[in-house]
Chains A and B, each alone.
Chain A
Amino acid sequence: MKEDWGREAGNIISNWARKHSLWVLAYGTGCGAIEIPPTMTSRYDAERFGISGMATPRQADVLLITGYLSVKTLKRVIRSYEQMQAPKYVIGFGSCTINGGMYWDSYNTVKRLDDYLPVDVFINGCMPRPEAVIDGFVKLQELIASKKANGWIRYQENLDWYRANQKKVIKNWNMPDYNW
């Protein structure tokens, strides 16, 4: 019993720490990338929430999917996601990540992001305003604190399902087979 309590306390502390330093992988995947500079810079200043850009996947905690993903990008995004270290979170940004958005009949974009990657928070809008982006991060922080942001665990558990979906649209899967 005592051990569990100790682990629990450790979790709370580490989640508190994680929540306050969300490093975002700077990958402008879709057109939503245009609202990221305003969010990060002086007017909206997301850094006061501990949100900061990070160039490499290895050091990043959050993968921000800024809008639609073309099949070609999806491949790279999966690769970036696999390189990130757990715990890692995915934010789906804009209506095109939810149900196709305005690219619903495009032959080259995926429609439901959560079929391919475990999304922790969806932000609605086309474009979402910087306030909405920050709101999404705040939501993610809450989820982390309450231990509900466990998309990465979901991904590990249902890897076969995710992988099958991914392989369905990516025809030439010439990536290393990341093995959880």
Chain B
Amino acid sequence: MTQVEKETTLYLGPQHPGITGNMMIELKVTGDTVQRAKTHVGYLHRGFEKLMEERLWMQCFPIVCRICVPEPDPNEENLARAIEEIEGREVPERAQYIRVMVLELSRIASYFLWMGGQAGSMGLYTMPQWTVGDRDYILDLFEELTGGRVYHMYIWAGGVRRDLPDGFAGRVRRVLDYLEERLTDYDRLFFQNALFLKRSQGVGVIDKDKAMEWGVVGPPLRGCGIAHDVRKDEPYEVYDKLDFEIITHEGGDIYARAMVRRREIEQSISIIRQVLDKMPGGPVHNPGPNPLKWKLPAGEAYVRTESARGEFGYYVVSDGSLKPRRIHVRGPAYVHGVSLLEKMLVGANIADVSVIMNSLGTCPPEIER
């Protein structure tokens, strides 16, 4: 009996456990194969950029960390650095080291969450139990350092908000040692798992020649074997004083991206150890004017950070008043989650849709802000 391949529309999300966050993909499928895909976003739109135009510069800091939920710190760091650039304010060196430590810790935390999601999307439910539980140790560190588990509001213009608590470095090292040890377990459970290999190798391939033109950044770009990393291209904070290499992996498929992230966890651990070794003493905050009367000189800046998902950018425009003229956020997921995902899903299996989504690290709140 011949089966007529009829095109059906399938709505994946917004209420769907395989979707990362609150978004929806409209799939046109024949049989099991996706013919066309269209992303629908906006379910998490809060209008942050509009809200910030109504707030004082200092009042923007508690807001920006909400833009990316799994990894709030690049937002704070970016806004702080953009403001510092416009204002010409120096940041004490110790504060820069602490910022790097916070950024790398949040990168590890974000990758741990990703590992859980990636494994969960393939039906390996032990991984989320482990990784999310282990990630909590990093959140504990954050809580101790900043006073908040998820939203830290720790990095602000001129430095960071508090110095390290007594004995903090030792506790960071202990957590790092533990996580490093755990990576072997993860290897056995997940990265060498036959099911994972089967479903990741050769699936969700990004064309290496087109990757840069398509605006792919971060681990997906490095997973294509292209060595670009904002930390090396345009070193910010004290990354130029630290010893690390850009990690790449050939293939451009889900497996390559996973391996890049897997090795970057180890690299981040090594960076944090270097930071702890090299961290100088001194102040951690270079005070600015009274926040209620803080006028930024007219000017603009675009600053970028390498977040766990790739280049995170802030375009800040000041017209010399108490409030920002415009703050535009470039989340890496904006490109990954919309135009790239739409392209990559063509020809994919329905079951692979959420695996591909997870491998790109799509994060809806930073798409619609």
Residues of A that sit less than 8 Å from B by CB? 25-31, 33-35, 37-38, 41-43, 53, 55, 57, 68, 70, 72-73, 76, 80, 102-103, 105-109, 126-127, 129
Q: Are B149 and A28 in contact (CB under 8 A)?
A: no
Q: Are B45 and A108 in contact (CB under 8 A)?
A: yes
Asked if B215 is an interface residue, CB under 8 A from chain A, the answer is no
5 contacts between A and B (CB under 8 A): A28-B22, A38-B136, A55-B17, A70-B43, A108-B46
Q: Are B133 and A42 in contact (CB under 8 A)?
A: yes
What's the count of A-B pairs with C-beta under 8 Å? 88
Bound form: Cα–Cα A129–B143 in Å: 11
Asked if B132 is an interface residue, CB under 8 A from chain A, the answer is yes
Bound form: Cα–Cα A127–B66 in Å: 10
Q: Are B22 and A29 in contact (CB under 8 A)?
A: yes
- Given A38-B133, A38-B136, A107-B50, 10 other A-B contacts at CB below 8 A? A25-B15, A31-B69, A34-B69, A38-B132, A70-B45, A72-B42, A76-B14, A103-B46, A127-B149, A127-B151
Bound form: Cα–Cα A33–B16 in Å: 13
* CB-contact partner of B47 in A72, A73, A108, A127, under 8 A: A108
Among B43, B45, B128, residue most surrounded by chain A Cβ atoms (within 10 Å)? B43
Q: Are A37 and B128 in contact (CB under 8 A)?
A: yes
Q: Are B17 and A30 in contact (CB under 8 A)?
A: no
Q: Of all chain B residues, which has the CB nearest A104?
A: B51
Bound form: Cα–Cα A11–B14 in Å: 35
Q: A76-B15, A76-B43 are in contact. Are A43 and B70 (CB under 8 A)?
A: no
Chain A contacts of B129 at CB under 8 A?
41-42
Asked if B116 is an interface residue, CB under 8 A from chain A, the answer is yes
Give residues of chain B (126-163) contacting chain A, Cβ–Cβ below 8 Å: 128-130, 132-133, 135-136, 139, 149-151
Give the top 7 A-B pairs by smallest Cβ distance, nearest first: A42-B133, A41-B132, A27-B15, A43-B133, A73-B43, A34-B69, A43-B136
Q: Are B46 and A106 in contact (CB under 8 A)?
A: yes
Chain A contacts of B116 at CB under 8 A?
37, 41
Q: Are B69 and A57 in contact (CB under 8 A)?
A: no
Chain A contacts of B63 at CB under 8 A?
102
Give residues of chain B (353-369) contacting chain A, Cβ–Cβ below 8 Å: 365
Asked if B291 is an interface residue, CB under 8 A from chain A, the answer is no
Chain B contacts of A72 at CB under 8 A?
42-43, 45
Q: A37-B113, A102-B66, A127-B149 are in contact. Are A28 and B21 (CB under 8 A)?
A: yes
Q: A37-B116, A57-B15 are in contact. Are A42 and B22 (CB under 8 A)?
A: no
Asked if B240 is an interface residue, CB under 8 A from chain A, the answer is no
Q: A34-B69, A37-B128, A43-B132 are in contact. Are A103 and B51 (CB under 8 A)?
A: yes
Q: What's the least CB distance linking B336 to chain A, in Å? A: 18
Q: Of all chain A residues, which has the CB nearest B127?
A: A41
* CB-contact partner of B44 in A27, A30, A107, under 8 A: A30
Chain B contacts of A25 at CB under 8 A?
15
Q: Of all chain A residues, which has the CB nearest B43?
A: A73
Chain B contacts of A73 at CB under 8 A?
14, 22, 43-44
Q: Are A26 and B17 in contact (CB under 8 A)?
A: yes
Chain B contacts of A42 at CB under 8 A?
129-130, 132-133
Among B15, B16, B70, B128, residue most surrounded by chain A Cβ atoms (within 10 Å)? B15
Q: What's the least CB distance linking B137 to chain A, in Å? A: 9
Asked if B62 is an interface residue, CB under 8 A from chain A, the answer is yes
Q: What's the least CB distance linking B149 to chain A, in Å? A: 6
Q: Are B136 and A33 in contact (CB under 8 A)?
A: no
Q: A57-B15, A68-B46 are in contact. Are A33 and B21 (CB under 8 A)?
A: yes
Chain A contacts of B46 at CB under 8 A?
68, 70, 103, 106, 108-109
Bound form: Cα–Cα A35–B66 in Å: 13
Q: What's the least CB distance linking A90 to chain B, in Å? A: 15
Q: Of all chain A residues, which has the CB nearest B16?
A: A55
Asked if B7 is an interface residue, CB under 8 A from chain A, the answer is no
Bound form: Cα–Cα A102–B54 in Å: 13
